[in-house]
Amino acid sequence: MKSTLPLLLKTDFPAINRKALQILQVNLGYLCNQSCEHCHVNAGPNRTELMDKETIDLVLKVLDKHRVELLDLTGGAPEMNPHFRYLVVRARERGVTVMDRCNLTILSEPGHEDLAEFLARHQVQVTASMPCYSPANVDKQRGQGVFDRSISGLQALNRLGYGIEGSGLELNLVYNPLGPNLPPPQAALEADYKRELKSHFNIDFTRLFTITNMPIQRFGAVLLSQGQFEGYMQLLKGAYRPENLETVMCRSLFSVDYQGYLYDCDFNQMLQLPAVSGTGDRSHLRELLTRDELNCPIRVADHCYGCTAGQGSSCGGALEGSVSAPTSEAIIEFHPS
């Protein structure tokens, strides 16, 4: 798979300064039960990289030392890490909010049939990938039959109270465009999702996050193979909004890989652009145990335009206060088959 990294490193993206650490985003490994076309992690069933218990215990020690507001668990399918439940229980015992980035189909995988009940019992926020409310679009991006399994997963979560107002169980959905386009305005698309999913499947959810596809890993390789990489970069740069620099996720977040090394964001992790210490070495979780903060510069490259284009994009969706940009992508309406 051809890498886009050499094309991204030469950049004129502005420098960004770090703020206080609020979110620790931990990648528990690249093993996944799916192989999605848009996946910037290049995760899949054949990946073997998984965070071990020793590193997970370091994560817990960092939670003890720093006032981390949110432990964001991602992958791959983070639930496939054998220590996933141990980490969730220990973090919740510390009063830390835990988010599980769930692909929904994991809820029906053998050995995970009680996963939804476990998440509800420990009041874990669920953020679930749902790239469209159209079966054809979802299956095209994520694989045949994924839409039906995702709907079943959402219905199971609803039965436990997830996404139901007043339950305290937060269920957020994530939208990624199908191709090299910017996401539509988040608020309007959320209204469409709520109407369609409620009407056809009686599904409720809390919020919709729209996330711009990053020109890296599997999606970046597709862009290169189809001759669309330069055009997509021009789209991102043309929609750049400097006001989005104030709220990009890297200013208050560290991304942690399965070995415990630190990155300024999940995308830098996938490009192997580690956060560097004052000595120029790549930083590790252990440094967060001995220092109150890491004053390392945030590493930027051309893919950073993906987070600052139009309404902006982060792991929590569009950036607050940003103005939506137009998109050329049409949303395909759901038609029951």
Domains of the chain, earliest start first: 5-12+19-308 (3.20.20)
Q: How far is CA 128 from CA 91, 106, 192, 248, in A?
A: 20, 11, 17, 21
Q: How far is CA 243 from CA 239, 247, 310, in A?
A: 12, 8, 10
| Segments in the chain forming alpha helices (H) | 5-9, 53-65, 84-93, 115-121, 135-142, 146-159, 186-201, 217-225, 229-238, 266-270, 285-290, 305-308
Say what the pLDDT of residue 131 is. Answer: 72
Please list the pLDDT of the chain residue by residue as tens digits (337 residues): 678 999 999 999 999 988 888 999 999 999 997 666 555 566 778 888 999 999 999 999 999 999 899 999 998 899 999 999 999 999 999 999 999 999 999 999 999 999 999 999 999 999 998 876 766 666 565 566 788 899 999 999 999 999 999 999 999 999 888 789 999 999 999 999 999 999 999 999 999 999 999 998 888 988 999 999 999 999 999 999 999 999 999 999 999 999 999 999 999 998 999 987 665 678 899 988 987 766 677 999 999 999 999 998 887 888 864 444 433 333 333 333 3
Residue count (the chain): 337
User: What CA–CA distance (Å, rounded) separates 173 from 190?
Assistant: 9
278 Cβ contact partners less than 8 Å away, ≥ 6 residues apart: 295, 296
User: What CA–CA distance (Å, rounded) separates 61 from 270?
Assistant: 25
The pTM of the full predicted model, rounded to 2 decimals, is 0.88
DSSP 81: S
Q: Is 165 exposed, middle or buried (0-12, 13-18, 19+ CB in 10 A)?
A: exposed
Instruction: Dig out the tokens for 102 from the structure.
Output: 């769930």
Q: Which residue type occupies 76?
A: G
Say what the pLDDT of residue 260 is. Answer: 97
Instruction: Dig out the tokens for 231 from the structure.
Output: 């055009």
Say what the pLDDT of residue 177 is. Answer: 84
